[in-house]
């Protein structure tokens, strides 16, 4: 059985210049699972429901009524206004199975997080949005493993950063949106004016 060819990241980093928070997933799902051309594009992923619930008290705030699609324009505008940057911890991967599971992702080349931070000088908060991204980010920054909802402070790329590990927004991590939102809301404690 042959190993699948490596995949390069299909999206450019989303780095609003005033970003104070950089959210890092693992890697996008296969394109056939996308409902928009942006981060967390899988309709069954709850990231934008989590942020809708946090920002507006409505987990459907970022969905298009009557369609199984997220409102990409509304999401991008929200992230710009809130100072949220987005990318992933892997730049190149091999999918060991043709699915969206992190369990079957082999990271060939991690993302250059220091280079991303150099483009967003106000950012001092890194958020790993699941186990695989947390493990990769911990390896890159040299921090110890974190519990879900926990954080560590460290020096990285010439600045002090707070690194959070959040629960996965995937439905494979079977917790309600409201429960996950409770953890993500903790990130905002040190960023009072982000929303």
Mean of pLDDT values over 112-139:
95
Give how many domains the chain has, as a whole number: 1
pLDDT digits (tens, 9 = 90+) for 155-170: 999 999 999 999 999 8
* Residue 33, in any domain of the structure: yes
Is the residue at 110 inside a domain? yes
Q: Which domain holds residue 43?
A: 7-190
Residue 2 lies in a domain: no
Q: Residue 131 belongs to a domain with what CATH number? A: 3.40.470.10
End-to-end distance of the chain based on CA atoms, in angstroms?
A: 49
Per the domain annotation, does 1 fall within a domain?
Answer: no
**Separation of alpha carbons 76 and 85, rounded Å:** 10
Whether residue 195 is contained in a domain is answered as no
Number of Cα atoms under 13 Å in the Cβ half of residue 134: 18
Pairing verdict, β 125-128 and 21-25: parallel
- 5-58 per-position pLDDT tens digit: 888 999 999 999 999 999 999 999 989 999 999 999 999 999 999 999 999 999
């Amino acid at each position: 059985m042959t190993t699948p060819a490596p995949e390069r990241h299909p999206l450019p980093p989303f780095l609003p210049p005033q970003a104070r928070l950089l959210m890092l997933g693992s890697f996008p799902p296969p394109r056939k699972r996308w409902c928009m051309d942006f981060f967390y594009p899988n309709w069954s992923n709850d990231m934008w429901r989590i942020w809708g619930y946090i920002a507006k008290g409505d987990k459907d705030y970022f969905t298009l009524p009557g369609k199984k699609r997220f409102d990409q324009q509304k999401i991008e505008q929200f992230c710009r206004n809130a100072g949220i940057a987005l990318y992933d911890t892997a730049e190149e991967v091999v999918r060991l199975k043709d699915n969206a599971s992190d369990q079957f992702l082999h990271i060939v080349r991690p993302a250059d997080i220091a280079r991303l931070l150099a483009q967003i000088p106000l950012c001092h908060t890194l958020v790993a949005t699941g186990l695989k991204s947390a493990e990769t980010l911990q390896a890159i920054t040299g921090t110890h493993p974190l519990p879900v909802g926990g954080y560590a402070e460290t020096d990285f790329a010439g600045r002090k950063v707070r690194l959070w590990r959040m629960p996965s927004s995937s439905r494979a991590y079977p917790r309600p949106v409201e429960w996950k939102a409770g953890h993500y809301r903790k990130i905002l404690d040190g960023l009072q004016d982000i929303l």
